[in-house]
Amino acid sequence: MDRVLTLQNRSAAELLVSGVLGGLNRTGSAVAAGVGQYLRELRGSWPGWAVGGRVAGHMASLVPQRLLGVYHTLLFTVPGTPVTNYGDEIGLRDEPGQAVKSPRMQWDESGQADYNQNVSVKAQKSHPQSLLSLFRSLSDLKGKERSLLYGEFQTVLASPSVFSYLRRWDQSERFLVALNFGESPEEVTLQHPLLPPEATVVLSSDPGRQGGARLALGRLALQPSEALLLKFPYVA
């Protein structure tokens, strides 16, 4: 993080893509601390976020498969610009032994005999619970929701397993993010002066979670490795 911040302060770049997230321990509290520190140290500069890259590799080769939905949700809901590698949207993995990570994109099943053994774009595009569907939904929300684009960021909970935060902008709809980095279910109490007793499910990485459901924030049950995005309206 120190090297990234030094470069940010020395350059006139309007957007510096940071690999800070990839260097953090994969716990709720560690990621919360890293995100908070980076946003504070930037002193108002616009952040860019990535997990991996052309040299570092694809996200699916750097974080456990179970956390791909968590990290995509994180990238698209923290303040700033998410930057992803081609193929991250389907969980493309790197081929071993390459200095520059450039596996073949899996558009269909014709290349499945190689090392990657990834599910293809063709297989995922019509599946509502696929990683590609989650990626597309997050990208759409990031592009049109003012709270996710420009909103204030406030941590609600940072525990060993769960990182939760609030995004809000003026009178726009508010968004609440809850990320379970753990491998076990977690029941958490999300408390903040701006939070209502209940919020509505926008999307989840867990296939058993239904969009549009109303959930109580005082006793919120998260599934293992679940990324959950909730919303609630502005109230004067």
Over the stretch 157-183, which tens digit does the pLDDT of each residue have? Answer: 999 999 999 999 999 999 999 999 999
Tell whether the model's pLDDT for residue 75 goes beyond 50.
yes
Percent with pLDDT over 90 in the chain:
61
| Residue pair 74/107 in contact by the 8 Å Cβ criterion | no
Please identify, in words, the CATH class of the domain defined by 151-232.
mainly beta
pLDDT at 115: 47
* Domain spans in the chain, listed from the N-terminal domain onward: 2-142, 151-232
Nearest to 121 by CA among 102, 138, 136: 136
Same fold, 2-142 and 151-232: no
pLDDT at 99: 61
Q: What is the mean pLDDT of residues 17-37?
A: 84
pLDDT at 117: 54
Q: In 3-state terms, what secondary structure has residue 156? A: strand
Q: In 3-state terms, what secondary structure has residue 10? A: helix
pLDDT at 128: 86
212-217's contacts with Cβ under 8 Å and 24+ in sequence apart are 217/176, 217/189, 217/190, 217/191
Which tens digits make up the pLDDT trace of 114-154?
Answer: 545 557 888 888 888 899 999 999 999 999 999 999 999 99
Q: What is the mean pLDDT of residues 105-122?
A: 69
Percent with pLDDT over 70 in the chain:
89
Residues of 106-122 as b/e, b for ≥16 C-beta within 10 angstroms? beeeeeeeeebebbbbe
Which tens digits make up the pLDDT trace of 188-223?
Answer: 999 999 999 999 999 999 999 999 999 999 999 999
pLDDT at 143: 95
- In CATH terms, the fold of domain 2-142 is TIM Barrel (3.20.20)
Tell whether the model's pLDDT for residue 227 goes beyond 90.
yes
pLDDT at 57: 85
| Residues recorded for the chain | 236
Q: What is the mean pLDDT of residues 56-67?
A: 90
| Residue pair 42/90 in contact by the 8 Å Cβ criterion | no
Look at the block and give the residue holding tokens 């601390």.
Answer: 33
Residue 1 burial class via C-beta count within 10 angstroms: exposed 0-12, middle 13-18, buried 19 and up: middle
